[in-house]
Chains A and B, each alone.
Chain A
Amino acid sequence: MFYLGRKRFARTLTPVPSVLPFETVPDPIAESPLASLHAALGARMIPFAGWNLPVEYSGLLAEHKATRQAAGLFDISHMGQIRAQGKDTLPCLESILANDPAKLKDSEGHYSFITNEQGGVIDDLLLYRLASDDFFLVVNASRHLEVLQLLKRHESPNVRFSGNPGSAVGMALQGPQSAAILGPILQGAPLPPRNHIARFTLLGGTVLIATTGYTGENGYEIFSDIPTGRKIWSAILETGKPLGLLPCGLGSRDSLRLEAGLPLNGQDLSPEITPLEAGLGFFVDLSRPRPFPGRSALELQKKSGPPRTCIGLQGQPGQPPPRHGYPVFQGSKQIGVITSGVPSPTLGLGIALALVTTPAPVCGQDLEIEVRGRRIPAKVSPRKFLKGK
C-alpha cells in the first residue's frame, strides 16, 4: 500500500461521541460553513477531527512561505467556540482551568488547560475575558463536545455555557501583512494589542477579533456568525491578494506551528502528558488559592520535577525528516519518542518536539533519532525553532 498522508493527520482523528444528553449529534464528518468557498478555490480536503477541511490550496510550501513573508488565511471554523456567561462565571472557570482566569482584565486573553486529576491535559485552549461576567473559550475541534459537556456539568442559574460545533465561523489571518490587510476592512478601527480581543461591527455582523494565532507570526483570529464569516473570508482574500496573501490549509498550519514550537493536542499534549512535562508550566498557576482538577498532582510534580521533559530537536540538511512516534536515543539508550516532527520549510532541516525522560539532555547535546531502522543525528535545540517568532 502507498499510504497518502497517513501519519500526520490520521493520528489526530478523534471519533465524535455518539450519545450526548444536551444536543443533537453532528454528522460524523462535518463540513465547514466555508466549504463552498474552499471548493471554489480548488482546495484539497481531508478529514480532520470529525471535519472535512482544506489540507492545502496552492501547495503546502507556498502557503507556509506566504504566511512567513506576507500573510496566510486559515479556516478555523472547526475549532470550538464556547461562550461562558453569568455573574458566577469567573469563580466557576477558576475551579476548572489550570491558568488563573482571575488574572485577566476585560478584553485580555491567555493560554490555559483543562487537566484531569492526574494533571494530564484534556484540552489546551485560549480563554478571553470580554467582561466580568462574559468569557469566550476557543478549544480544540477534537475535544469540543467533551469540553462543552464537562463545562455544562458546572452550569447553574448564574453560569451558562453555549457554543455547538458548526454554529459559527472562525478564521485566522496570520503573517507580517495581517494588519495591513485587516486595517482597511475595519475602516481604521484600532485593532486590539497582542493577546487581546475586541468586538467589531463588520460587514453587517458583530464579530470578535483576537490578536492571537498558531503560527508564530503576528496576526488575528476572527470569530463570527456564518453569513458574516463568509463575507469576511472573501473580503480578506480580495484585500490580501495584492499583498501576497494565500489561503492556507491544515498542512501549512501544522508546519508553521511546529516551527514556532507550539504544541498540538493529541500529539504533544494528551491526558497522559502534563503541561509541566510539555514545558508549559508558565501557563499553570499554582499560586492561587482555588483548587482545580489535577492541582495536587501538578504541585507534586513541580516539587519533585516532572518525570519526562519536552525538548526540541534539530536534524541536519539532507537527512530524513523526523516524524511523530520515532524513537530518540542518547548513545545506546532510548530516552524518549518524538511527539511532532516535520521537515522545516524555513530552516531546510528536520525539526521535532520529543518527550524524553528527566533529566533531559541540554541544548546543543547530540542525540540520535531512529528512522526506518537506522539512526540519524539530531541536536537538542530550543523548542522555538525560529528566533524571534
Chain B
Amino acid sequence: MNTPDNLLYAKSHEWLRLEKDGGTVGITDHAQSALSDVVFVELPKTGRKVKAGEVVATVESVKAASDIYSPVAGEITAVNTVLPNDPGLINREPYGQGWLFRIQPEQPKPTGLLSNTDYAATLTR
C-alpha cells in the first residue's frame, strides 16, 4: 500500500498534510482499497469547529458506510466540492484530487498521529 512520507496518519486511516496555511485531510490508499468503490460522500460544513477524533464526514461504498474522524482539532476551512459528483476520485487519487476537507489546526504541532512507516506497520499486523 502507498503511504507517502510527507503525510501524518491516524490509526483510523485518515491522512493529514500540513501546509503553510493549514492542513488537508483525506483517507489512505489502504482505506479506499478496503472500502472499494466509493459511491457517496457526506462532507462537513465550512466554519465548523471540530475536536480531534470527532466524526466529520461519511464515506460510503456500495456495501458499507464508514465514519471519517478529524485527525486534529481545528476549524474546517474548505471541503472538496468535486467529490459529491465524483466520489470515485477517492479511489483513484486518495492522496491527490480525492482529498476530503481542509482544516485550520488549533495546535501548530499535532499530537497522536503516526509517521508513514509507523502507519504502514499497523496495516501488516
Residues of A within 8 A of B (CB): 1-9, 44, 55-56, 59-61, 64, 251, 254-255, 318, 320-321, 323, 342-343, 345, 372
Q: How far apart sit A206 and B61, CA to CA, in the bound complex (Å)?
A: 40
The contact of B39 among A6, A8, A321, by CB within 8 Å, is A321
- CB of A3 within 8 A of CB of B63, answer no
The contact of B69 among A2, A8, A321, A372, by CB within 8 Å, is A2
The stretch of B28-36, B97-105, B109-117 in contact with A is B28-36
| Chain B residues whose CB sits within 8 angstroms of the CB of A255 once the complex forms | 62-63
Determine how close the nearest CB of chain A comes to the CB of B91; give it in whole angstroms: 9
| Chain A residues whose CB sits within 8 angstroms of the CB of B27 once the complex forms | 2
B53-70 with Cβ < 8 A to chain A: 58, 60-69
Q: Does B49 contact A (CB under 8 A)?
A: no
Select the residue from A2, A5, A64, A321 with max chain B CB neighbours within 10 A.
A2
- CB of A60 within 8 A of CB of B62, answer yes
Closest 3 CB pairs of A and B: A2-B12, A4-B34, A2-B13
Determine how close the nearest CB of chain B comes to the CB of A38; give it in whole angstroms: 16
Residues of B within 8 A of A (CB): 12-14, 27, 31, 34-37, 39-40, 42, 58, 60-69, 84
| Chain B residues whose CB sits within 8 angstroms of the CB of A56 once the complex forms | 36
User: A4 with B42: in contact, given A60-B61, A251-B62, A320-B58 (CB under 8 Å)?
Assistant: no
Determine how close the nearest CB of chain A comes to the CB of B80; give it in whole angstroms: 16
Interface of chain B: mostly helix, strand, loop or mixed: strand
| Chain A residues whose CB sits within 8 angstroms of the CB of B36 once the complex forms | 44, 55-56, 59-60, 251
- CB of A2 within 8 A of CB of B14, answer yes
User: A320 with B60: in contact, given A2-B66, A7-B65 (CB under 8 Å)?
Assistant: yes
- CB of B65 within 8 A of CB of A323, answer yes
Q: How far apart sit A59 and B66, CA to CA, in the bound complex (Å)?
A: 18
Q: How far apart sit A321 and B59, CA to CA, in the bound complex (Å)?
A: 11
The contact of B63 among A2, A5, A320, A372, by CB within 8 Å, is A5
Select the residue from B12, B27, B39 with max chain A CB neighbours within 10 A.
B39
Determine how close the nearest CB of chain A comes to the CB of B11; give it in whole angstroms: 8
- CB of B42 within 8 A of CB of A320, answer yes
Q: How far apart sit A6 and B35, CA to CA, in the bound complex (Å)?
A: 10
Determine how close the nearest CB of chain B comes to the CB of A345; give it in whole angstroms: 6
Determine how close the nearest CB of chain A comes to the CB of B64; give it in whole angstroms: 5
The contact of B62 among A4, A6, A44, A345, by CB within 8 Å, is A345
The contact of A6 among B37, B66, B69, by CB within 8 Å, is B66
Q: How far apart sit A44 and B63, CA to CA, in the bound complex (Å)?
A: 14
| Chain A residues whose CB sits within 8 angstroms of the CB of B13 once the complex forms | 2, 4
Q: How far apart sit A254 and B65, CA to CA, in the bound complex (Å)?
A: 15
- Show 14 A/B contacts (Cβ-Cβ < 8 Å), sorted by A: A2-B68, A3-B67, A4-B35, A4-B64, A7-B65, A9-B63, A55-B63, A60-B36, A61-B62, A254-B63, A255-B62, A320-B65, A323-B64, A323-B65
